[in-house]
Every structure is written in structure tokens, then in C-alpha cells.
Structure 1
Amino acid sequence: MGAFPFASWQIWAVGAAVFAALTAIFAKVGVENVNSDFATFVRTIVILVSLAFILLATGQFQSPGSVSARSYVFLVLSGLATGASWVCYFRALKIGQAAQVAPIDKLSVALVALFGAVFLGESLTLPNWLGVALIVVGAILVAYR
């Protein structure tokens, strides 16, 4: 990752949060008069074309044979989970308010901490777990109407 001008994970994480927020706002307007699954399909095409352009422009395409079978299995599982997440998210945005849907969607932060501890053996300290609990409470309070 040293080739990137901003190699700090914190910068990329903040960027992810900003773009995720914009995703909710843009998607809420975009699904107004469109079937949510079709909207997800359009979004996916845009992502596919954008990433293909980025890979071509930066010379980052890899030989498919250079990727292990284990990596392919988990990348496919990740893709399926992403697709399921997007379908659920767009359907929720279609019928709910963005300011309610997005915080509940962000409960994924707490679930990642839990799954990371259970499945990956990652350890969290007591203050970390307190932060996870506060995220859960905060998401519920923001979504509450």
C-alpha cells in the first residue's frame, strides 16, 4: 500500500464513512420511484465499471492464477454477503427514513467486533467492549422515532 499517497488506514476508514453516508443519502433519493432490487443492480454495475477503470488505470490487475483457492472462497462469500447487505439496505431505504436505516445498518460495526473476537480470535479490552455497547445504544437512539 505504500504506493498510495495516503497509506494510513485511518484516512481510508474516514473516507469509507463519508462515502457510506453519501451512499445513504443518494440511494434514498434514487430509490424513490424505482424497485429497490433494480436500484441495487444499477449500483452494482456502476461499482463494477468504476473498479475495472481503477484497476486498469493503476495497473493493479492480477493474474487469476495468483490467487489461492482459499482466498477465492472467502472473496466469493464476502461478495455474497455484500450483495445480501445491499439488497436489505436498499429495501430498508425504500420504506424507511435514511436517518433511521443508516444507524441500524451501522450496527455492523458492533457485529464486526463480536465476530472478530469469536471467529478471528481478535481481543478487545473492556474499554473496547464499552465502545461497542455505546455504538449499539447510540444506533438505537438515533433510529428511534
Structure 2
Amino acid sequence: MWKYYALLSAIFAALTAILSKLGVKGVNGNIATAIRTTVVLFLAWGIVLFTTELKSFKELSKQNLYFLIASGLATGLSWIFYFKALETGEVSKVAPIDKLSIVFVMIISFIFLKEPMDLKTILGGTLIFAGALVLIL
């Protein structure tokens, strides 16, 4: 099932890039990020309340909260820089370079999470890196 969720994530990420580029036209990137974040906030809490998953909130440990807060800060900074890039760059170049995050995730997950590193994963990461490098140069 995770593969379907990942594919849907990729489709919505693509839509996000296109819609964000259209939405940021003539607007400060920080304002655009704030609006987008507000929508995500209401959507996420709406899903939690609608599905009655709020009772799971008490199961969070301090470690969960620390890492989720740090993740939220990283997400916020990522979105701010993404919108700054979209303000002046072409979405067809900004979005693929942004996806270098995949390569960084692979490297960090190998080192810190001790996830397995196989030839397919290394080859895929190398191709993603090469593609981003072509766009940068």
C-alpha cells in the first residue's frame, strides 16, 4: 500500500509545484508560504478531527514531539526557500533541483537510520543527482 501512497504523494507534489508557481506570480514568497501553510494546517487538523484520531494525541512521547517539531521547522524552511526559488526561477528547473532532497534522504538514512544500501538505490540516487546537476549547469 505504501507504494500507492508514495505515487499519490508524487502526483500531488507535482501539482503543488505548478500551482505554487502560478500562485507566487507577483507575490512575496513568504506571504505565499504563509497562505499555503495555513491551508495545510486546517486540512491536517480537519482530517484528524473528522477521523476521530485526536485520541491518539496522548500517545505522543516527548521524543515524538521534539522530532515532529524539528521536522515542522525543517518543512517550514524548505517551503520558504522553495517559494523564494519559484519567485525567480522556472518551475521546470526549481522542482527537480528541489528533489535533490531524495539524494540527501538516502545518504542520511544510510548513515543515521542504518537503512540498507543496495545497488538499485545507489544507482537511482546517482541518476537523480546527475539529472539535477544537468539542470544546475
> How would you bin the TM-score normalised by the shorter chain?
over 0.9
Matches within 5 A, 1:1-145: 8-62=1-55, 64-141=57-134, 143-144=135-136
Instruction: Give the share of equivalent positions with the same residue, in percent.
Output: 44
How far apart, CA to CA, are the structure 1 residues paired with 2:12 and 2:56?
29
Q: Deviations over 1:96-143 (max 9, x none)?
A: 0000000000001111100000111112112321111011112233x2
Aligned to 1:61, the other structure's residue is in SS state helix
Aligned to 1:3: none
How far apart, CA to CA, are the structure 2 residues paired with 1:95 and 1:21?
18
Aligned to 2:55, the other structure's residue is in SS state coil
Q: Deviations over 1:30-74 (max 9, x none)?
A: 011111001000000000111111112111113543210000010
Count matched residues: 137
Aligned to 1:19, the other structure's residue is in SS state helix
Gap regions ≥5 residues in structure 2: none
How far apart, CA to CA, are the structure 2 residues paired with 1:137 and 1:33?
32
How far apart, CA to CA, are the structure 1 residues paired with 2:121 and 2:54?
37
Going from structure 1 to structure 2, the CA distance change for 1:55 and 1:128 (only over 3 Å counts) comes to same
Aligned to 1:33, the other structure's residue is in SS state coil
Please report the RMSD computed on the Cα atoms of aligned residues, expressed in angstroms: 1.3
Counterpart residue identity of residue 21, structure 2: K
Contact map agreement 1:103 1:140 (CA 8 A) in 2: no
Contact map agreement 2:97 2:136 (CA 8 A) in 1: no
Deviates more, 1:81-90 or 1:122-131: 122-131
Going from structure 1 to structure 2, the CA distance change for 1:65 and 1:56 (only over 3 Å counts) comes to closer
How far apart, CA to CA, are the structure 1 residues paired with 2:89 and 2:126?
24
